Amino acid sequence: MRYSDPTLPSHELAPFAEDIRRLFADLERSLKNGSQPSGECEPPLDVFENEGALEVRLDVPGVPASSLRVVVKRGVLLVVGAKTATVVTTRGEATFHVVERDVGRFARAVRLGAAVDVGRARAALVNGELRVTLPKLVERRGRETRIPIDVAPPPTGDVP
């Protein structure tokens, strides 16, 4: 299978808008510190496949697992999350000279171009990287399947 760009552009997210709103609402209810992230960010991601699985990896440093939701719906992987700003503690006043780290809510969508076994899918957060592994289903199209032929016993009795 070949991917040109499996991520969905924002104009193709419309069918998932309600799902994304619901996931954001669920996420905001679960945030323990009560802070609602303002703004939006877009963590970079990689999509690749090997013989047995499709894998999606997102850079989400500083985002705890409790601030992430991963869902597969209608052949699309949705990853929704929130990255809150780190509180800077200093003595006295501080002046920021450079602020480059993105914070805010994010929703990334990846079209799954392969038949995957969602029941065996796994997600792991490892050193600031979310790794979603979706095992592929065995391709059955094009494979020869022999169908056995039942042989009926010969009829008994008189044949006219």
What digits encode the pLDDT tens for the residues 95-140? 777 777 777 788 888 988 888 999 999 999 999 999 999 999 876 6
Specify if 64 maps to a domain.
yes
Half-sphere exposure (CA, 13 Å, Cβ side) for 32?
4
Please report which confidence band the pLDDT of residue 156 belongs to, taking 50, 70 and 90 as the band edges. Answer: confident
**Number of domains forming the structure of the chain:** 1
Does residue 141 form part of some domain? no
Domain that holds residue 127: 10-88+98-135
Output the pTM of the full model.
0.66
pLDDT at 15 over 90: no
On whether the CB atoms of residues 119 and 57 are closer than 8 A, the answer is no
Amino acid in position 126: V
- Domain contains 142: no
Question: pLDDT grade, residue 27 (50/70/90)?
Answer: low
Q: Does residue 40 register a pLDDT over 50?
A: yes
Tokens of 62: 């500083």
**Rounded alpha-carbon distances, angstroms, from residue 36 to 21, 28, 48, 98:** 14, 7, 33, 23
| More confident site: 14 or 135 | 135
Between CA 15 and CA 21 the distance in angstroms is: 12
Asked if residue 22 is part of any domain, the answer here is yes
Question: Could you identify the residue written with the tokens 């999606």?
Answer: 56
Query: What CATH number corresponds to the domain at position 115?
Result: 2.60.40.790
pLDDT of residue 1: 38
Q: Is residue 32 part of a domain?
A: yes
User: Would you say residue 93 lies in a domain?
Assistant: no
For CA atoms 92, 97, 103, 104, give the dihedral sign. positive
Q: What is the pLDDT of residue 73?
A: 86
Mean pLDDT (whole number) for 30-50: 73
Bigger pLDDT: 14 vs 97: 97
Q: Mean pLDDT score of the chain, rounded to an integer?
A: 78
- Per-residue confidence (pLDDT) for residue 58, from 0 to 100: 93
**Stretch among 13-22, 34-43, 83-92, 93-102 having the lowest mean pLDDT:** 34-43
Residue that has been written with the tokens 């970079």 in this structure: 44
Q: How confident is the model at residue 11 (pLDDT cuts 50, 70, 90)?
A: low
Beta strands, E only, 8-138: 45-49, 53-59, 68-73, 76-83, 104-111, 122-126, 129-135
